[in-house]
Structure 1
């Protein structure tokens, strides 16, 4: 992974937290930079960005105070996703993270080629969201 790709990953992570880029924009920038996906681990507080050759960069995610709930509630995760997709009043990525963690989401994996996001709980229960076409 080159320095420019690492910088792009850092920029996209920061932009998600400060609200200067939305999910579709972040996906487009990361794809253009050669990434195939990324993963967020709420329990470790990290985001990992992957290249197709297996190389990756792990970055510290901005922490939120909400712990990951023990029980996974797919409906809670889905509600948070719908709020993000509609850019609901008061939406922020920080608020999204808090909502999905309260719904038992321990992390999620984004696959650009698979055009989906897999949200998973502490017991490996999951909820899959497909990218819109």
Structure 2
């Protein structure tokens, strides 16, 4: 991974936290930089960005206090995703993170190749969201 790719990953992470880039823009920026996906781990507080050759960079993510809820509630995660997609009034990535953690989401993996996001819980239960081409 080169320094420019690391910088792009870092700037996309910061932009998600401060709300200056939406999900489609972040995805497009990362794809243009050569990434094939990324993963957010709420329990470790990290975001990891992956290149096709297996190289990756792990960055500290937004700290959200408290443990991930034990019960996985796919319906609540889906509702939070819909709110994000609609850019509902008052939406923030921090609020999204808090909501899905309270719904038992331990993390999620974004696959640009698969055009999907897999949200998973502490027991490996999952919810899949597809995104358009």
* TM-score interval for Structure 1 and Structure 2 normalised by the shorter chain: over 0.9
Does 63-72 or 47-56 show the bigger shift? 63-72
Aligned to 2:118: 118
TM-score, length-normalised on structure 2?
A: 0.98
TM-score, length-normalised on structure 1?
A: 0.98
CA contact (8 A) 1:66 1:98 kept: no
**TM-fit CA distance, 1:66:** 4.2
Gaps of 5+ in 1: none
Aligned residues: 133
Aligned to 2:92: 92
Distance 2:66 2:120 in 1: 16
Aligned to 2:77: 77
CA contact (8 A) 1:72 1:103 kept: yes
Displaced runs of 4 or more, over 3 A: none
Gaps of 5+ in 2: none
Provide the secondary structure at the position in 2 that maps to 1:100: helix
Q: Answer yes or no: is 1:27 the counterpart of 2:27.
A: yes
**TM-fit CA distance, 1:91:** 0.1
**TM-fit CA distance, 1:62:** 1.2
CA RMSD of superposed structures (Å): 0.6
